[in-house]
Amino acid sequence: MSATTDRDLGHGSAAPGGRPAGPARWACFVSLLIALPAVLFALITWQVVERGPLLGVDRDVSHALLRPDRASELLADLGNVEVAVPVLAVALACAALRGRATGVDRWWVPPLAAAVLMAVLPALIVPLKEWTGRHGTTAVPPGVGYFPSGHTATAVIAYGSGTLVLLPLLRTALARLAVVAVCCALVLAVSFGLVRRGYHWPLDVVASWCLGAVLLSLLFLLLASLSRSTRRSSSGTPSSRTGPS
């Protein structure tokens, strides 16, 4: 195997000075993307449960941004399951059809993984809402269960996982940048709409960003591992489909 192929696969090579090769550096970077949001999520949750001083800042920011209107309501609606999940379904269908048509090994894994992540999200959000029992803003009826924001989490996972699955199918950097920009714009639009309309406190939204970042990072690691496995198979290592039965 050539030196170039070894570098591509992340085997048998290291950067000068003993630093880890590319895939290892990416793994460290993604690990930070998991650890930092997880710590921040734990901190925010602790403040909500203990009614800590951070909630005072949260109330001040909410009062400064609170302007219920039709525009903010429409933006918040982009986080509805009825909107975000069909968008995700279209992205996963495109990825599945393209992967199968081009003969990609295990083409069904990325769409399935993203669909499972979306399906299990309520199992994470609902218990957190019941446990924290946070009251809503003055713009919503009295009640509890506002932390973390389910609409924000739905938007982050639906639009984010759809983006991760579609990125490998895009041939140009401009196309990939455009898809990422649209994803970020949708999530930010939902987040702003929820706070502006008063459906959620800002910390409810930020907590869902953190939770979504952790989940999307785990999905990214899975897809990256699958991609490396596919490259090894295509470069001559027998896969489960091409090896002896």
Distance CA(97)–CA(26), nearest Å, equals 28
Distance CA(202)–CA(179), nearest Å, equals 26
Over range 153-172, report the average pLDDT. Answer: 95
Over range 206-220, report the average pLDDT. Answer: 95
Distance CA(218)–CA(124), nearest Å, equals 15
- Mean pLDDT rounded to a whole number for the chain: 85
Residue 122, classified by CB atoms within 10 Å of its CB into exposed (0-12), middle (13-18) or buried (19+), is middle
- Output the pLDDT for position 20: 47
Q: Is the pLDDT assigned to residue 125 strictly greater than 50?
A: yes
Q: Is the pLDDT assigned to residue 94 strictly greater than 60?
A: yes
Task: Please give the distance of CA 54 from its chain centroid, rounded to a whole number.
Answer: 25
Distance CA(78)–CA(154), nearest Å, equals 9
C-beta separation of 118 from 150 below 8 A:
no
